[in-house]
Structure 1
Amino acid sequence: MTNKPILTLAVATALTATLAATGGCAVTRSQESVGAYLDDATLTTRVKAKFADNPTVSALAISVETLKGTVQLSGFAKSENERATAEKLARETSGVVAVRNGIVVRPS
């Protein structure tokens, strides 16, 4: 019989101690707190998920980065409609403060 519950408890305790010790520390993105970094990562994921669910927008061709709630879109779109739809989806995402649309329409 293994000691899985004890091992799991030990891992959970170590992880909790690590997070508690680093929770107030800043990360590399311009001294952004860990909480703010995670919020930005969540927004990026939400926007990318909307792109993946939308038949007009190519989630692979458009990059999404978020800093302090501002979403930066970059990459290439096949049409002005795709570019505008990507911006609209990003703006409609809960928690997004602003959107900067740097998507370039690549002529066919």
Structure 2
Amino acid sequence: MRFNKVLYAFMLAASVASFTGCAATPKQDSTGQYLDDTAITAKVKAAIFADPNLKLFEIKVVTFKGVVQLSGFVGSREEELKAVDLARHVSGVKAVQNKMSVK
């Protein structure tokens, strides 16, 4: 009987620890958030690549908790604004940080 209580306590502690491992922290996504961010990144990259003027440039897209950061180089200020606009209109994007530079 005592063994069952010890085993139960151990299993409870292990399950609590495993759930805590999937939780989000201020600097790290939860598992679900990571998958959402990955999907947002893919959608933003697809939107940028679909634009014939922007697909020629190296624009890096990183998403963290719904905030998209665009970095890299573009040919003009208009193309920079177009990339930001495309990213803003992707579903799930909360904000866009523009770290791009004009060549």
TM-score interval, normalised by the smaller of the two chains: 0.7 to 0.9
Contact kept? 1:24, 1:33, Cα under 8 Å: no
Distance (whole Å) between structure 2 residues aligned to residue 40 and residue 33 of structure 1: 10
- Count of residues in Structure 1 that have an aligned counterpart in Structure 2: 85
Counterpart of 2:48? 51
Counterpart of 2:4? none
Specify whether residues 53 and 24 from structure 1 end up closer, same or farther in structure 2 by C-alpha distance, changes over 3 A only: farther
Q: Which ranges in structure 1 are unaligned for 5 or more consecutive residues?
A: 1-21
Aligned-partner SS, 2:69 = strand
- In the alignment, structure 1 residue 25 sits paired with structure 2 residue 21: yes
Aligned-partner SS, 2:55 = coil
Taking only aligned residues, the RMSD between alpha carbons, in angstroms, comes to 2.2
Largest Rg, 1 or 2 = 2
Give the % identical residues. Answer: 44
Q: Which ranges in structure 2 are unaligned for 5 or more consecutive residues?
A: 1-17
Distance (whole Å) between structure 1 residues aligned to residue 54 and residue 19 of structure 2: 36
Shift of 1:71: 0.2
